[in-house]
Amino acid sequence: MYQILLNSPLFRGLTSDELDALMQNINHQIRQFRNGELLAQAGEGVDMAILLLQGRLQGEMVDFAGNSLKIEELDPPQMVAAAFLFGPQNKFPVFLSAKTEGRIMVILKKDFTRMLSLEPRVMVNYLNIVSAKAQFLSGKITFLSLKTIREKIAFYLLQRAKQSPNIQVDIDQTQTALADLFGVTRPSLTRSVLEMEKQGILEWSKEKVFIKNLRMLNQILGR
Amino acid sequence: MYQILLNSPLFRGLTSDELDALMQNINHQIRQFRNGELLAQAGEGVDMAILLLQGRLQGEMVDFAGNSLKIEELDPPQMVAAAFLFGPQNKFPVFLSAKTEGRIMVILKKDFTRMLSLEPRVMVNYLNIVSAKAQFLSGKITFLSLKTIREKIAFYLLQRAKQSPNIQVDIDQTQTALADLFGVTRPSLTRSVLEMEKQGILEWSKEKVFIKNLRMLNQILGR
DNA sequence: CCTAAAATGTAACAGTTGTTACAAATCACT
DNA sequence: AGTGATTTGTAACAACTGTTACATTTTAGG
């Protein structure tokens, strides 16, 4: 009945039978949605868990500035706004709209809470989801705190180089895409890259980077 | 026995007796620490919950750049690195050191997990703590995404004005302090404020701001 | 009321990034 | 191999913030 959910991070580790048994004890509801439908407005209160079963949703960041409004897409089976069901300010952070038609499962907060108590594995899964979100945001902040493009490049390369302690870093992306990821313009990124090449810090060819002077790269980040 | 913990967000809502009964079922340990002691290094794995009972701890952000390394202080009774006990990357995000002598309670992760299952109220409290963290970080990111100082001022004032929909906003802070909060230099902030005054958008006197043109203030954020 | 400290106003200049536009090189495909 | 699309190199200029230094005003305490 709920096979889709077995692959979701929230119910990971449960057998099909266990999930069925659990859901029989928990009030829930299936809702269809149409393409283009607006499921939730930013600022609206969150008083239920929403699990995407089928179709595709998109959340548009509440970007006042408008210029780089980021769109996050959501594929099943996944939970919507997992980090905003609890907490002091449980309001939707985004406008949630449908990109296709599909189905969601809705569980009221009090029933969701009961489910977590009933099944410790689901509780741990949920904790992992929310914590992952917090950790992701935390990492994003350290990155956003970097002021110059040089610093962003250095941070990015060093983080990648750490995983495979190599002088060569595969970035598997064009400079154009990377500029977008960094939130800077492409010519500005190129300018900084060329400057760093001129200074003998690195060599950028195609989608690979050779770090020629690790010391200087670290120095950019203040050691 | 654990009266200090009764005031902690984690055990909110429990009676003294309930807390005592709960802790008798959960393995835990009290540890003393000395002033200046390094309790955890950034990057070190987190496999236990740490509750500060007495004394004061400080976490120093892993700030490569060095220039604006932020220090977060922690007062009892509070949980340390609550959002990093679960999740895929459960490592300390900061260097944790003692500013005074004091005591912490240590609960291994598996015991902590069991505690959450045993007592739904503590589970909900913990979910609120972690979610609050995620929500705080989320808000911080929207703020960090604002590019110009004008935008930061506008966002800050509008957010404050929303709570008490008034033309006058009390900020209870000097420009110097605000500049620090915004992560910009004081002369730059002043420059932007004066510019906005000259344009008839607002009037800044002492620690109060009168919004003279709400439309223009919104326009700065792209409506 | 007076004075030292803190906060605010002001200005010139340097550094970094965005903007725009175009040239050159590379890639992907037929 | 040829060609259209994509990516990268380059440049001039505008916009914004940081830096530094100093003047002026306001605040807090005796």
For the stretch B119-158, pLDDT in tens is: 999 999 999 999 999 999 888 888 888 999 999 999 999 9
Contact status of B223 with chain A (Cβ, < 8 Å): yes
How far does the CA of A70 sit from the C1' of D8, in Å?
25
Residues B170-204 as b or e (16 or more Cβ within 10 Å = b) = ebeeeeeebbeebebeeeebeebbeebeeeebbeb
CB A211 within 8 A of CB A156: no
**Structural element, H or E, at residue A67:** none
Q: Which residue has the tokens 């950019």?
A: A220
Of A175-184, B29-38, B56-65, the least confident = B56-65
- The C-alpha R_g of chain B, in whole angstroms, comes to 22
- For the entire predicted model, the pTM comes to 0.89
- Average pLDDT in the B36-64 region? 86
Tell me the CA end-to-end span of chain A in Å, nearest whole number: 55
Nucleotides on strand C lying under 7 Å from protein C-beta:
6-12, 16-21, 26-27
CB A44 within 8 A of CB A92: yes
Q: Measure CA to C1' and name the residue nearest D25.
A: B206
Q: Which of B1, B82, B99, B9 is nearest to B46 (CA)?
A: B82
Share above pLDDT 70 across residues of chain B, in percent, rounded to a whole number: 92
CA neighbours within 13 Å on the CB side: how many for B192? 18
How far does the CA of B198 sit from the C1' of D23, in Å?
21
Q: How far apart are CA A49 and CA A86, in angstroms?
A: 10
Q: How far apart are CA A219 and CA A210, in angstroms?
A: 17
Report the gap between the CA of A113 and the closest CA in chain B (Å): 8
User: Which amino acid type is present at position B191?
Assistant: R
Interface test with chain B among A138, A142, A153, A158, by most B beta carbons within 10 Å: A138
User: Which amino acid type is present at position A127?
Assistant: L
Q: Which of B119, B109, B24 is nearest to A127 (CA)?
A: B109
Helix, coil or strand: residue B71: strand
Q: Closest chain A residue to B144 measured between Cα atoms?
A: A144
B13 touches strand D (CB under 7 A): no
Report the gap between the CA of A144 and the closest CA in chain B (Å): 7
Contact status of A118 with chain B (Cβ, < 8 Å): no
| Mean predicted lDDT score pLDDT of chain B | 90
Interface test with chain B among A60, A90, A117, by most B beta carbons within 10 Å: A117
Q: How far apart are CA A139 and CA A129, in angstroms?
A: 15
Q: Closest chain B residue to A144 measured between Cα atoms?
A: B144
Residuewise pLDDT in 10s, chain A (223 residues): 688 999 999 999 999 999 999 999 999 999 999 999 999 998 899 999 999 999 999 887 644 333 334 667 888 999 999 999 999 988 888 889 999 999 999 999 999 999 999 999 999 999 999 999 999 988 888 888 899 999 999 999 998 887 666 688 999 999 999 999 999 999 999 999 999 999 999 999 888 999 999 999 999 987 6
Nucleotide nearest to A188 (CA to C1'): C17
CA neighbours within 13 Å on the CB side: how many for B121? 11
Instruction: Among A63, A130, A183, select the one facing B134 at the smallest CB separation.
Output: A130
The whole-angstrom distance between residue A196's C-alpha and the CA centroid of its chain comes to: 30
**Size of the A and B interface in Cβ pairs below 8 Å:** 152
Which residues in A lie closer than 8 A to residue B135 (C-beta atoms)? 83-84, 87-89, 93
